[in-house]
Structure 1
Amino acid sequence: MKKIVLFLLMNVVVAGLLLGCQQQGNEDIKDKIQSVPNEDYLGEANPVVKEEMKLTNEEKQEFEKLKQEVISNKEGK
């Protein structure tokens, strides 16, 4: 019984040490990463991103062709 309690206690201690090491590692990495704004950027600070890509007609045809090839390959397997 004492061995089981000792084993469980050691597991708790090891788990605590590992969690502490992980937290310290995360803090060290955050300290090393420096976020410096690009002062040369002349565009909008918070641009609106459109969800749809604008493709030329040629690119649309190529995309549809590749999509059909992928679908036919999936159906063939």
Structure 2
Amino acid sequence: MDLGRRLRSLMREAAEIIADSKARQALPEEALADLATVHSLLDRVLMLMLARGAVDPREIERAGEDLERILREGVRDR
């Protein structure tokens, strides 16, 4: 289950970079789009692992909560 936590941590990092206004200014638009793609792919990996029973379902729930929190904070940051 450690892998699920590690993937969730990577997702959180990608989302925080995307939501950070200074990072958005510093990175080219293509880089931000690529980060969003990475986040989406990590989410897919977690879902595939969940389907095979290889990850704790709570990690999926926490990943969603992380993303919601980061998006809320990013909106406030603007």
Under a length normalisation based on structure 2, what TM-score does the superposition of the two structures give?
0.31
Larger radius of gyration: 1
Determine which structure has the larger helix proportion and give its number.
Answer: 2
Larger RCO, structure (CA 8 Å, separation 6 or more): 2
